[in-house]
Structure 1
Amino acid sequence: MYTQRTIVFSTNCRKAKNARSKRFLTNRDPKVFENPKTSIFVRGSTTSQVILDTLKDLYSLSKPNAINFTKKNQIHPFDDETGIEFFARKNDSSLFAVGMHSKKRPHNLILGRTFNHQVLDMVEMGVERCTTIKEINSRVCAAGTKPLMVFNGEAFAQNEQMIRLKNILLDFFRGESADKVSLKGLECVITVTAGPTGINGEPGLIFLRTYTTSLKKSGVRQPRIELEEMGPALDLRIRRVRYPTDEMWKQATKVPKELHQPKVKNVSRDGLGDKYGRVHLGKQGIDKIQTSKVKALRKRLDNKPSKKQRTDGAES
């Protein structure tokens, strides 16, 4: 359990003394289009070789928007958040990964996010198996490559803990925002697969795998894509999850007014982005529509019988 804290949402109130400090403070001010998120990787007071390898490989996937701390730190985010908030404020980072090892929680990995330099949410996992990039010894993608994320399993849409983990992983490896990505630029693929759930509906093992892509000739315009395992290959199990408060989550997900699209009446989009429009028509006077002048459909102006009716009457 953790004690409830008073959350303060404030902007930078410090005044710049020169042009250099003004540029520094301006870069940290809220923006309509935010800078790429920076992640920090922190070692705990006691760590294992498995945790060190995991932090090292995750850091290599997050570069260049990542900072790696090599010294040990007396830090326990679930018990005391002040330490990680100090690092987040000092390095202007919104993502953090903390690795530690103890008898109660062996090979412990914590992934989390901060908002306004305060802990927003975090997930604690145990690393049950780690195969490093060095052990696999295959081709490695370039640093700063925007990866393709693939999530397999119904748990990522049904289980609340898995939904939270998916959201955090997407933030960790998202990189810079891009409207278009070249096919040749998709060198890295990260797959996260949810294993079978437990008896009580608890999440099972989570398999995180990383691949590099190779473009092969296919005889058509689109090349054939082959995946080669790059590493790291992690088997994770969720232990604890910290959820944000409603007030803090509302502030963190608030969309600026400049990004709000003006609402257009009778226009909507489906889940695939297809645009649909609704047209409203008035009452249609079908009896007044001009049709072709066929004698059989023409109305007589008087009540006189037609020539055919007169002929039939005479014969009878």
Structure 2
Amino acid sequence: MIRKKAKRKATKLLEDRKPKVIENPKRSLILSGRKVNKDLKTLLQDLHRLRTPFSVNFTQETHDLLPFEEVQPIEKLVKSEDTSLFLIGSHQKKRPNNIIMGRCFDQQILDMVEFGVSELKQMESKASLLNNLGSKPCIVFKGDEFKNNPQFETIRSMFLDFFRIEDPSSINLLGLDHVISITAIDSNNLAFNHYKINFEKSGQKTPHVQLVDIGPSMKLSLRRTRWASDDLKKNAMKIPDVLRKSKDRLKNVFRDELGNVQAKIHVQQQDIKTIGTKNFRATRKGVAEETTKKLDMMERMDKFLYGKRKLSSSTPTSSNDSTSTPTTETKTPQPPTKKIKQ
């Protein structure tokens, strides 16, 4: 069997799907579930317009998808379309006006959140000007829940991945033409608002900024969640070694929970002899040898003197020896005698 070479377009597509050090902008897949009402369908189309051109719209057809019960069908669609984000809308009697937002890593579902939509306001026709070249959204998070609640911290990162699109190196303030505001009302409800920025004359150099609500605006109630496992989350947040060893990055520098900058210092094993310490006389070179020599001499002298004394005490003196010293006899005292008278 002779295999034909792949066409240039196919090879380019396969190379584009390979993992890279700096990944492409995240693409989203927007789907409609088994049943979708008119309001929910317009919401999915409006969110698709906010992410254009990095979004794939599959809302024209219904799909039998239940991600919290079966994971394989949605993973198959994500793999075929090469997307890392997905959004599914469905309307049921048990869960009306339901949307599921999720992320994928390595063509596997990383985490998912299910919201209930209420008080929906559709996007106006003015929003068609938002997809101009260089247009960027300003994303604002309000509420203490995004800092104190770990669930809302993950939800915050999911909204950032969904609406941030690209990471530009520099930003032109005139390119920030719309604002996405997400407010944490309580531990179970969110408020989503979308505003357009209008620059008006103020009589000064800086213009007067005015926000106009153009939709979509809605309230989201938290229903079901599925968070990533520790191992999968660790692999998803891993930074490549090429980016770790860059010159711009400071090594061993990090921030603690309070935001203070801290660093780790690794010191190699040092040679104690080369350390510059205070030079005492006892530590000087040659002093130790002199002290040992003196101690040896003192030991020899003690041995010599001790041996001579022992020798002199052990040898007896003879009377015939002319060199011997005269000995003195000691008389013992006697008691006095009394004279008796006769």
What secondary structure does 2:6 align onto?
A: coil
Q: 1:267 to 1:63 in 2, by over 3 A?
A: closer
Partner residue in 2 for 1:295: none
Are 1:250 and 2:234 counterparts? yes
The residue aligned with 1:175 is: 165
| 1:138-287 superposed matches below 5 A | 138=126, 140-143=128-131, 145-195=135-185, 197=186, 203-260=187-244, 261=246, 264=250
1:30 alignment partner, SS class = coil
Contact kept, 8 Å, 1:140 with 1:212, in 2: the verdict is no
Shift of 1:216: 2.0
In 1, Cα distance between the equivalents of 2:113 and 2:127?
Answer: 30
Alignment gaps of 5+ in structure 2: 264-275, 277-342
2:14 to 13, 25, 29: 25
CA distance in 1, matches of 2:76, 2:169: 34
* C-alpha contact 1:39 1:172 (8 A) present in aligned 2: yes
- TM-score, normalised on structure 2? 0.69
Residues 72, 269 of structure 1: alpha-carbon distance in 2 compared, 3 angstrom cutoff? closer
What runs of 5+ residues in structure 1 fail to find an aligned partner? 1-14, 198-202, 278-282, 284-316
Secondary structure of the corresponding residue to residue 176 of structure 1:
coil
Q: Deviations over 1:177-230 (max 9, x none)?
A: 2011111100110000111x3xxxxx2321100001111233433322111111
Please tell me whether residue 112 in structure 1 is matched to residue 102 in structure 2. yes
CA gap of 1:96–1:275, structure 2 versus 1, over 3 A, is: same
Q: How far does residue 22 in structure 1 lie from its aligned partner after superposition?
A: 2.2
The size of the alignment, in residue pairs, is 257
* Greater C-alpha Rg: 2
The percentage of counterpart residues that share the same residue type is 36
Q: 1:22 to 1:50 in 2, by over 3 A?
A: same
Pick aligned residue for 1:58 from 34, 42, 47? 47
Distance in structure 2 (CA, Å) of the matches to 1:267 and 1:161 = 27
Deviation at 1:49, TM superposition (A): 2.1
Q: Which has the larger share of helix?
A: 2
CA, structure 1 residues 30+67, in 2 after alignment: closer, same or farther (shift >3 Å)?
same
Work out whether residues 140 and 230 of structure 1, in 8 Å CA contact, stay in contact via their aligned partners in 2: no
- Whether the 8 Å contact between 1:130 and 1:232 is mirrored in structure 2 is yes
CA RMSD after TM alignment? 2.9
Structure 1 position 127, deviation (Å): 0.4
The residue that corresponds to 1:40 in the other structure is 29
The structure whose RCO (Cα within 8 Å, separation 6+) is larger is 1
Q: CA 1:192–1:266 in structure 2 vs 1: closer, same or farther (change >3 Å)?
A: closer
> CA contact under 8 A between 1:88 and 1:117: conserved in structure 2?
yes
TM-score with structure 1 setting the length: 0.74
Native 8 Å contact 1:146 1:173 kept in 2: no
